[in-house]
Amino acid sequence: MALEEIQQKFSGKWKLCRSEKFEDLMKEMGVNIVARKLAAAGKPEQEVEVKDGKIRILYKTGFWDREDNFTLDEEFENERNGVKHKVIASYSDGKLETIATPIDSELPSQRTVRDVVDGEMVMTIYAREVVCTRYFKRL
């Protein structure tokens, strides 16, 4: 049931149209100033797909791509900016949430909540006291 809802609500390609506090988030995550400026200037895309009981999210930023394939409520690992994370994804109240906890790093955990509001995918990212919101339009 959750996967069907995720497929209907989130599947497809999305492109960033605006961001709030993204540079603050990257600074909190230990990203150097050059990489922060490059990332802030980019208009990344996300592609969300549900297939064979798994969720696939492909991130394309122009200077790095990352693909996450996961099952809801099952821990998996990924790498972000050279740091490995343990990640768990859940779905409730129409929102897809991931919590990424760094392995062997003092960097903060990141909680990412995706929702679709007025036709836009709203991705809110929490890291310590920083709250970043990114808005994506469906392509």
- Calculated CA dihedral for residues 95, 99, 53, 92, nearest 10 degrees: -30
Q: How many CB atoms lie within 10 A of CB 42?
A: 16
pLDDT in tens, 45-96: 999 999 999 999 999 987 778 899 999 999 999 987 788 999 999 999 999 9
- CA separation, residue 75 to residues 17, 30, 68, 98, 111 (Å): 30, 24, 12, 10, 14
pLDDT at 40 over 90: no
**What's residue 81's pLDDT?**
75
- Reported pTM: 0.94
pLDDT at 1 over 90: no
pLDDT at 123 over 90: yes
The alpha-helical segments, DSSP class H, found in the chain are: 2-10, 22-28, 33-41
**What's residue 110's pLDDT?**
96
Three-state DSSP class for residue 39: helix
Domain boundaries in the chain? 2-138
Q: What would the CATH number be for the domain defined by 2-138?
A: 2.40.128.20
Per DSSP (E only), the strands in the chain are: 12-20, 45-51, 54-60, 65-70, 76-80, 83-92, 95-102, 110-117, 120-127, 130-138
pLDDT averaged over every residue in the chain: 94
